[in-house]
Structure 1
Amino acid sequence: MQKRSMMILPLATAFVLAGCSGTVEYGSGVAPTASTTQSPAPVSSENSILSDEQAMKVVEQLLGDAEGAHILTTEELRAQSQAMKQQFDGVQIEPAKCRQVLTGSSLSDLGASTQVVGTSQTASSSRTYQVISLDDTKLDTVRQLLQPDSFDGCEQVTEHVKGQDIERQIKTLQTNLAADQASAFQLTTTGPQGSNTTAVAVSVQGLHGNEYVSVTDVVMSTHGGEEVDVQQVLSSLTKNANKAFAALESMR
């Protein structure tokens, strides 16, 4: 049984949790437009890959006029994925077998695919939309990574970074996302001693036809502060993921 990789889920969220938000430029408020992004021509075949421009339209609709909105497209994401992996090179992870859960298979490595990530961010939270249009040959890979298996002893992971410990707890959630295959999870990250902060990430993701969608919220809170209503967040994420699938289907 293959362990599920956290990076199959929300790539941009992984940047947040890895401390790479500055690299992703969440706060820039500048999103690439179709005129500045090199995109393949739109396609219409039922099993063809959608273009960056088509996927971007869906992400832009979901983002609306959200604060701190930023969009990354296929080539940008591949470059960011490599940068993020390098961030983990010097990180010691316990249990050691769980390294793949945090740094394993990335959807940015799928080759023949179109990928767009849109993120909005406030001072204490962020929402990430990830849309990927896949070639038929890549579907089995994604299906395998979305299998509803356990995290196989990696529900609690400790990262040792520059003499400090970061604790992560992973929990599988139930979702009624209208997709061929779907899953959801909650990742709670507690900062090093003395930081007094916790990050709660809730994510829903699914595969429908040749399109993969994930929607993720990350909420930062101080110890003893108001708890995140996970079910309420999950409901909102599911609603937005369903909107994304409907918009993508209309382009076929």
Structure 2
Amino acid sequence: MKKRSFLLLPLAAALALTGCSGSANETPGSTDAGASQEKAAPETAALSTEQATAIVKKLAGDSADAQIMDGDTIAAALPQAKKLIEQMEISPEKCAEFVSQQAAWDIDGINMAVAVLMDDSTMESTSYSVAGYEDTAKLDQITKQVKNKDLQGCDKIGMTLQGQNAEVGVKILDASSDADLTYATSNTTKLNGTDVPGGGSYQMQGLVGNNAVSVSMTGTDAESEADVLKKLTEELNKAVAEVKATAK
């Protein structure tokens, strides 16, 4: 069975190996397992691409500096990301499939949008993603995997590409939010044995009816885990409120 996850954590390290921007790890439908908490809630219809785009723009504060990506833009970038991962040597060997399936390469039936805010002076970034699942089979698969909360022994993954070595450490965090189902993870990255400055990141995602929302923050090494989780929860709850107000 393929080990697909909810967020794209190891892809951040893959991009670090090639000197690319870390923003690619914000692709929705992509990271590892996380802490979950289920709530009874009324069904919320799947958002359209236009609705998802409007929400991420609002969450980003309608900033002119925000990088906005809709489903078409994301779909166009996935083949390059997939090729990058396929070129990597991954250890432990059992985690190769886990990493290669981190991205949901098939996004048909998923209406999504992503907004990324980058502070060029500190290199800190915050991203928001919203996805409406018209394909309920894909949503069901994600829901089951979120509930499993299992990293399958791949909490530390080594990746080698073009002579560069990266190690990603992933940790499941306790989290709750206004979403029907919530989970959060943190990850750290070492490049050639050295901690990457600002290489730490946190992700929190929630399911809201037929929709998934997530908030990610990178470059948060100077902040405590509790402070970052508080910020993530506040931002995720804003996203949940927007989804519930929009998807009637």
Q: Same fold (TM over 0.5)?
A: yes
What RMSD in Å do the two structures reach over aligned CA positions?
Answer: 2.8
Deviation string for 1:25-45 (max 9, x for gaps)? Answer: x9xxxxxxxxxxxxxxxxxxx
Structure 1 unaligned spans of 5+: 27-45, 221-225
Deviation string for 1:70-95 (max 9, x for gaps)? Answer: 01101111111221111112110110
Structure 2 unaligned spans of 5+: 27-42
Q: Which has the higher contact order (CA 8 A, sep 6+)?
A: 2
What SS class does the counterpart of residue 102 from structure 1 fall into? helix
What SS class does the counterpart of residue 184 from structure 1 fall into? strand
How many percent identity over aligned positions?
28
Q: CA deviation at 1:2?
A: 7.0
The range that moved more, 135-144 or 86-95, is 135-144
Letter in 1 for 2:235: N
User: In the alignment, is residue 50 of structure 1 matched against residue 54 of structure 2?
Assistant: no
What SS class does the counterpart of residue 219 from structure 2 fall into? strand
Are the counterparts in 2 of residues 182 and 206 from structure 1 also a CA contact under 8 Å?
yes
Out of 205, 224, 231, the position equivalent to 1:229 is 224
Aligned to 1:71: 68
Q: Structure 2: how far apart are the matches of 1:196 and 1:134?
A: 35
What SS class does the counterpart of residue 176 from structure 2 fall into? coil
Taking the TM superposition and a 5 Å limit, the aligned residue runs for 1:30-41 are none
For normalisation by structure 1, the TM-score amounts to 0.78
Taking the TM superposition and a 5 Å limit, the aligned residue runs for 1:121-140 are 121-123=118-120, 124-135=123-134, 136-140=136-140
What SS class does the counterpart of residue 49 from structure 1 fall into? coil
Aligned to 2:88: 91
Are the counterparts in 2 of residues 159 and 167 from structure 1 also a CA contact under 8 Å?
yes
Q: Structure 2: how far apart are the matches of 1:182 and 1:107?
A: 19
Taking the TM superposition and a 5 Å limit, the aligned residue runs for 1:139-154 are 139-154=139-154
Q: Structure 2: how far apart are the matches of 1:10 and 1:22?
A: 11
Are the counterparts in 2 of residues 10 and 214 from structure 1 also a CA contact under 8 Å?
no
User: In the alignment, is residue 9 of structure 1 matched against residue 7 of structure 2?
Assistant: yes
Q: CA deviation at 1:105?
A: 4.5
Aligned to 2:29: none
Are the counterparts in 1 of residues 44 and 208 from structure 2 also a CA contact under 8 Å?
no
Deviation string for 1:131-190 (max 9, x for gaps)? Answer: 000123332122023124221211111111222221110100011112221111001011
Are the counterparts in 1 of residues 55 and 239 from structure 2 also a CA contact under 8 Å?
yes
Aligned residues: 224
